[in-house]
Amino acid sequence: MPTVSHSELTFQSGGKPIRMAAYLPVTLDDRVPTVVALHGAGGNVAGMECCASTLAAQGFAVYLLHYFDRTGTESADKQTIMRNFPLWMKTLWDAISFVETQPQVACERIALLGFSLGAYLSLANSAIDPRVKAVVEFFGGMPKEMNLFMRRLCPVLILHGDADPTVPVEEAYHLRKLLEKKGIPYEIKIYPGAGHGFEDQTIWQDAGPRSLQFLQKYLGAPESKPTSKT
Protein backbone atom coordinates (compact mmCIF):
# COMPACT_ATOMS: atom_id res chain seq x y z
CA MET A 1 0.00 0.00 0.00
CA PRO A 2 1.56 3.35 -1.03
CA THR A 3 2.75 5.92 1.48
CA VAL A 4 0.81 9.18 1.25
CA SER A 5 2.26 12.66 0.84
CA HIS A 6 0.33 15.84 1.64
CA SER A 7 0.92 19.31 0.21
CA GLU A 8 -0.96 22.58 -0.21
CA LEU A 9 -1.26 24.01 -3.72
CA THR A 10 -2.70 27.23 -5.16
CA PHE A 11 -4.03 28.05 -8.62
CA GLN A 12 -5.93 30.97 -10.15
CA SER A 13 -9.63 31.12 -11.02
CA GLY A 14 -11.34 34.37 -11.94
CA GLY A 15 -8.27 36.25 -10.78
CA LYS A 16 -8.55 34.77 -7.29
CA PRO A 17 -6.07 32.41 -5.60
CA ILE A 18 -7.76 29.06 -4.93
CA ARG A 19 -6.34 26.58 -2.44
CA MET A 20 -6.20 22.88 -3.11
CA ALA A 21 -4.89 20.22 -0.73
CA ALA A 22 -3.11 17.37 -2.51
CA TYR A 23 -2.94 13.84 -1.10
CA LEU A 24 -0.72 11.76 -3.33
CA PRO A 25 0.46 8.16 -3.24
CA VAL A 26 4.24 7.91 -3.02
CA THR A 27 4.65 5.39 -5.81
CA LEU A 28 6.95 4.47 -8.67
CA ASP A 29 4.05 4.62 -11.09
CA ASP A 30 4.21 7.49 -13.55
CA ARG A 31 0.58 8.59 -13.52
CA VAL A 32 -2.35 7.53 -11.36
CA PRO A 33 -6.14 7.88 -11.42
CA THR A 34 -7.25 11.11 -9.81
CA VAL A 35 -10.14 12.36 -7.69
CA VAL A 36 -11.10 16.00 -7.15
CA ALA A 37 -13.17 16.23 -3.95
CA LEU A 38 -15.66 18.96 -3.02
CA HIS A 39 -16.97 19.85 0.43
CA GLY A 40 -20.55 20.79 1.26
CA ALA A 41 -22.25 24.07 2.14
CA GLY A 42 -20.62 24.14 5.57
CA GLY A 43 -17.20 24.57 3.97
CA ASN A 44 -15.69 21.73 6.00
CA VAL A 45 -12.66 20.72 3.94
CA ALA A 46 -10.96 19.26 7.02
CA GLY A 47 -13.77 16.74 7.36
CA MET A 48 -12.74 15.21 4.02
CA GLU A 49 -9.06 14.68 4.89
CA CYS A 50 -9.56 11.12 6.15
CA CYS A 51 -11.37 10.17 2.93
CA ALA A 52 -8.60 11.76 0.86
CA SER A 53 -5.84 9.95 2.77
CA THR A 54 -7.64 6.61 2.44
CA LEU A 55 -8.06 6.95 -1.32
CA ALA A 56 -4.46 8.12 -1.75
CA ALA A 57 -3.26 5.09 0.21
CA GLN A 58 -5.06 2.97 -2.40
CA GLY A 59 -3.14 4.60 -5.24
CA PHE A 60 -5.33 7.58 -6.18
CA ALA A 61 -4.19 11.19 -6.41
CA VAL A 62 -6.75 13.20 -4.43
CA TYR A 63 -7.22 16.97 -4.48
CA LEU A 64 -9.48 18.72 -1.96
CA LEU A 65 -10.79 21.88 -3.60
CA HIS A 66 -11.42 25.05 -1.55
CA TYR A 67 -13.91 26.37 -4.10
CA PHE A 68 -15.36 28.88 -1.60
CA ASP A 69 -12.12 30.85 -2.05
CA ARG A 70 -13.49 32.12 -5.38
CA THR A 71 -16.31 34.01 -3.61
CA GLY A 72 -14.87 34.60 -0.14
CA THR A 73 -17.55 32.33 1.31
CA GLU A 74 -17.26 30.54 4.68
CA SER A 75 -20.60 28.74 4.62
CA ALA A 76 -23.48 28.95 2.19
CA ASP A 77 -27.23 29.32 2.59
CA LYS A 78 -29.72 28.90 -0.24
CA GLN A 79 -29.38 32.48 -1.53
CA THR A 80 -25.59 32.31 -1.46
CA ILE A 81 -25.68 29.03 -3.38
CA MET A 82 -28.01 30.39 -6.05
CA ARG A 83 -25.87 33.49 -6.50
CA ASN A 84 -22.48 31.76 -6.59
CA PHE A 85 -23.14 28.34 -8.12
CA PRO A 86 -22.00 29.36 -11.65
CA LEU A 87 -18.76 30.84 -10.26
CA TRP A 88 -18.04 27.68 -8.28
CA MET A 89 -18.67 25.59 -11.39
CA LYS A 90 -16.13 27.68 -13.28
CA THR A 91 -13.71 27.24 -10.37
CA LEU A 92 -14.15 23.48 -10.55
CA TRP A 93 -13.53 23.58 -14.31
CA ASP A 94 -10.33 25.57 -13.69
CA ALA A 95 -9.35 23.16 -10.91
CA ILE A 96 -9.53 20.21 -13.28
CA SER A 97 -7.43 22.15 -15.80
CA PHE A 98 -4.85 22.76 -13.07
CA VAL A 99 -4.89 19.15 -11.88
CA GLU A 100 -4.27 17.99 -15.45
CA THR A 101 -0.88 19.75 -15.35
CA GLN A 102 0.31 17.79 -12.31
CA PRO A 103 2.96 15.16 -13.08
CA GLN A 104 1.26 12.24 -11.29
CA VAL A 105 -2.18 12.74 -12.81
CA ALA A 106 -3.51 10.44 -15.53
CA CYS A 107 -5.53 13.08 -17.39
CA GLU A 108 -7.85 10.55 -18.99
CA ARG A 109 -8.84 9.10 -15.59
CA ILE A 110 -10.28 11.93 -13.48
CA ALA A 111 -13.33 11.58 -11.22
CA LEU A 112 -15.22 13.92 -8.91
CA LEU A 113 -16.39 13.17 -5.37
CA GLY A 114 -18.76 15.57 -3.69
CA PHE A 115 -20.69 15.96 -0.45
CA SER A 116 -24.09 17.73 -0.56
CA LEU A 117 -23.48 21.07 -2.34
CA GLY A 118 -20.21 19.61 -3.59
CA ALA A 119 -22.18 16.69 -5.04
CA TYR A 120 -24.49 19.08 -6.91
CA LEU A 121 -21.45 20.90 -8.30
CA SER A 122 -19.77 17.64 -9.27
CA LEU A 123 -22.85 16.34 -11.10
CA ALA A 124 -23.47 19.67 -12.83
CA ASN A 125 -19.88 19.82 -14.02
CA SER A 126 -19.94 16.22 -15.20
CA ALA A 127 -22.89 17.06 -17.43
CA ILE A 128 -20.77 19.48 -19.51
CA ASP A 129 -17.13 18.45 -18.97
CA PRO A 130 -15.95 15.37 -20.91
CA ARG A 131 -12.80 15.18 -18.78
CA VAL A 132 -14.85 13.80 -15.88
CA LYS A 133 -15.08 10.01 -16.18
CA ALA A 134 -17.06 9.20 -13.01
CA VAL A 135 -18.78 10.87 -10.04
CA VAL A 136 -19.27 9.69 -6.47
CA GLU A 137 -22.04 11.79 -4.98
CA PHE A 138 -23.01 11.83 -1.31
CA PHE A 139 -26.50 13.16 -0.48
CA GLY A 140 -26.69 15.56 -3.43
CA GLY A 141 -28.44 15.68 -6.77
CA MET A 142 -28.42 17.03 -10.32
CA PRO A 143 -29.49 20.69 -10.49
CA LYS A 144 -32.67 20.98 -12.52
CA GLU A 145 -31.17 23.94 -14.38
CA MET A 146 -28.73 21.54 -16.04
CA ASN A 147 -31.60 20.16 -18.14
CA LEU A 148 -30.95 23.13 -20.45
CA PHE A 149 -27.18 22.70 -20.64
CA MET A 150 -26.57 18.97 -20.32
CA ARG A 151 -24.23 17.65 -23.01
CA ARG A 152 -23.30 14.25 -21.58
CA LEU A 153 -23.31 12.11 -18.44
CA CYS A 154 -20.82 9.70 -16.88
CA PRO A 155 -21.11 6.77 -14.45
CA VAL A 156 -22.36 7.86 -11.02
CA LEU A 157 -22.39 6.28 -7.56
CA ILE A 158 -25.45 7.62 -5.69
CA LEU A 159 -25.30 7.50 -1.86
CA HIS A 160 -28.24 8.93 0.08
CA GLY A 161 -30.27 8.51 3.26
CA ASP A 162 -34.02 8.02 3.01
CA ALA A 163 -34.61 10.30 6.01
CA ASP A 164 -32.52 13.23 4.73
CA PRO A 165 -34.29 16.48 5.78
CA THR A 166 -31.88 18.74 3.86
CA VAL A 167 -31.69 17.07 0.46
CA PRO A 168 -34.74 14.80 0.04
CA VAL A 169 -34.08 11.25 -1.14
CA GLU A 170 -36.25 12.06 -4.17
CA GLU A 171 -33.15 13.80 -5.56
CA ALA A 172 -31.40 10.43 -5.63
CA TYR A 173 -34.31 8.75 -7.38
CA HIS A 174 -34.56 11.60 -9.90
CA LEU A 175 -30.87 11.20 -10.70
CA ARG A 176 -31.28 7.45 -11.09
CA LYS A 177 -34.17 7.99 -13.51
CA LEU A 178 -32.09 10.45 -15.54
CA LEU A 179 -29.15 8.05 -15.78
CA GLU A 180 -31.41 5.17 -16.77
CA LYS A 181 -33.07 7.29 -19.46
CA LYS A 182 -29.65 8.14 -20.92
CA GLY A 183 -28.38 4.57 -20.60
CA ILE A 184 -25.51 5.59 -18.30
CA PRO A 185 -24.11 3.05 -15.81
CA TYR A 186 -24.76 3.85 -12.17
CA GLU A 187 -24.82 2.33 -8.72
CA ILE A 188 -27.13 3.42 -5.92
CA LYS A 189 -27.32 2.78 -2.19
CA ILE A 190 -30.13 4.27 -0.11
CA TYR A 191 -29.50 3.96 3.63
CA PRO A 192 -32.71 3.39 5.65
CA GLY A 193 -33.26 5.94 8.41
CA ALA A 194 -30.14 7.94 7.53
CA GLY A 195 -30.24 11.73 7.55
CA HIS A 196 -27.98 14.30 5.94
CA GLY A 197 -24.26 13.81 6.48
CA PHE A 198 -24.37 10.14 7.51
CA GLU A 199 -23.68 10.55 11.23
CA ASP A 200 -23.86 6.79 11.85
CA GLN A 201 -20.33 5.38 11.56
CA THR A 202 -21.64 2.05 10.29
CA ILE A 203 -22.92 3.82 7.17
CA TRP A 204 -19.43 5.14 6.44
CA GLN A 205 -18.07 1.63 6.91
CA ASP A 206 -20.24 0.65 3.93
CA ALA A 207 -20.02 3.88 1.89
CA GLY A 208 -16.22 4.12 2.05
CA PRO A 209 -15.40 0.72 0.50
CA ARG A 210 -18.32 1.12 -1.91
CA SER A 211 -16.83 4.40 -3.15
CA LEU A 212 -13.36 2.89 -3.50
CA GLN A 213 -14.68 -0.07 -5.51
CA PHE A 214 -16.66 2.24 -7.80
CA LEU A 215 -13.64 4.43 -8.49
CA GLN A 216 -11.47 1.39 -9.13
CA LYS A 217 -14.08 0.07 -11.54
CA TYR A 218 -14.36 3.23 -13.63
CA LEU A 219 -10.88 4.73 -13.29
CA GLY A 220 -8.91 1.52 -13.02
CA ALA A 221 -5.87 0.64 -10.96
CA PRO A 222 -2.75 2.83 -10.87
CA GLU A 223 -0.74 2.56 -14.07
CA SER A 224 2.68 1.00 -14.32
CA LYS A 225 5.43 2.83 -16.13
CA PRO A 226 4.90 2.56 -19.88
CA THR A 227 7.06 0.18 -21.83
CA SER A 228 8.45 0.95 -25.26
CA LYS A 229 6.57 -0.52 -28.21
CA THR A 230 8.32 -2.51 -30.90
pLDDT at 221 over 70: no
- How far, in Å, CA of 110 to CA of 32, rounded? 9
Number of domains in the chain: 1
Q: Is 226 within the bounds of a domain?
A: no
pLDDT exceeding 90 applies to what percent of the chain?
Answer: 88
Domain limits for position 123:
3-219
151 falls within a domain: yes
Percent of the chain whose predicted confidence (pLDDT) is above 70: 94
Residues 167-182 have pLDDT tens digits of 999 999 999 999 999 9
Mean pLDDT of the region 4-24: 97
Q: Which pLDDT value is given to residue 124? A: 97
Look at residue 230 and tell me if it is in a domain: no
Q: What is the pLDDT of residues 29-56, one digit of tens each?
A: 679 999 999 999 999 998 899 999 999 9
Whole-number pLDDT of residue 64: 98
74 within domain boundaries: yes
CATH code (residue 103):
3.40.50.1820
pLDDT tens digits, 180-214:
999 999 999 999 999 999 989 999 999 999 999 99
